[in-house]
Amino acid sequence: MKLLVGLGNPGREYATTRHNIGWRALDTLLADQASAFATRADFQADIAEWRAGGEKILLAKPLTYMNRSGEAVQRIVGFYKIPHEHILIVHDELDFPLGRLAFLAEGRPGGHNGVASIQERLGTTAIPRLRIGIGRPQDQRPVDVHVLSSFTPEEERTAQEILKRAANAIRDWVAVGTTNAMNQWNKKETIGP
């Protein structure tokens, strides 16, 4: 079994924000599947199941808010006994421009509180991640305001394209693993607005 964790915040007011691009990537992945997300209070997450090549894939969107994502992930991992290398965290990345994505096999959270929460709760930085660029603010607004803002209409068009690309990248990660997915996807060009 593998676990895909999309990071975001619950609530309609956060649905289209930059910080929720991890949730949106999992929604895009499931768009053409028969499966749908359902709330599991015991996991503090919305959960869906997907089968790929006969393997059960669990998708999770923590409902604990970004900074406490590790609480939900720890419950799921503990219940299903999922090895860390079979987990993929999908999240927004300030240091990438919108339109770029890349896998990371392991590493420190780089200021991302959701990733930090998961790493702290699971006791390791060796958890694969798919980072989806949202870009840094081009104006003087603070980063926390930027990540909780929605994309402009022009940016949203680019976001839709990168979400489709992210869904394909996730499918490849499930099929071929982290190293091969990195080799295939980390060299792809950034999609421009």
At 157-180, the pLDDT tens digits run 999 999 999 999 999 999 999 999
Supply the pLDDT for residue 90: 98
**DSSP 8-class letter at 7:** -
Supply the pLDDT for residue 182: 97
Supply the pLDDT for residue 141: 83
Does the active-site annotation cover 19? Answer: yes
Supply the pLDDT for residue 53: 85
Distance of CA 186 to the CA centre of its chain: 16
Q: Taking Cα atoms as reference points, which of 26, 23, 57, 59 lies closest to residue 40?
A: 59
The whole-chain average pLDDT of the chain stands at 95
| CB of 47 closer than 8 Å to CB of 60 | yes
Distance of CA 193 to the CA centre of its chain: 21
Q: Report the C-alpha gap between 124 and 185 in whole angstroms.
A: 24
Q: Between 159 and 32, whose confidence is greater?
A: 159
Say if residue 138's pLDDT is above 90: no
Say if residue 192's pLDDT is above 80: no
Catalytic residue among 19, 86, 91, 146: 19
Domain 2-185, classified CATH 3.40.109.10, yes or no = no
Domain residue spans of the chain: 2-185
Say if residue 48's pLDDT is above 90: yes
Supply the pLDDT for residue 193: 62
For residues 24-36, give the mean pLDDT.
92
Q: Between 105 and 140, whose confidence is greater?
A: 105
Tokens of 73: 């992930």
Supply the pLDDT for residue 37: 97
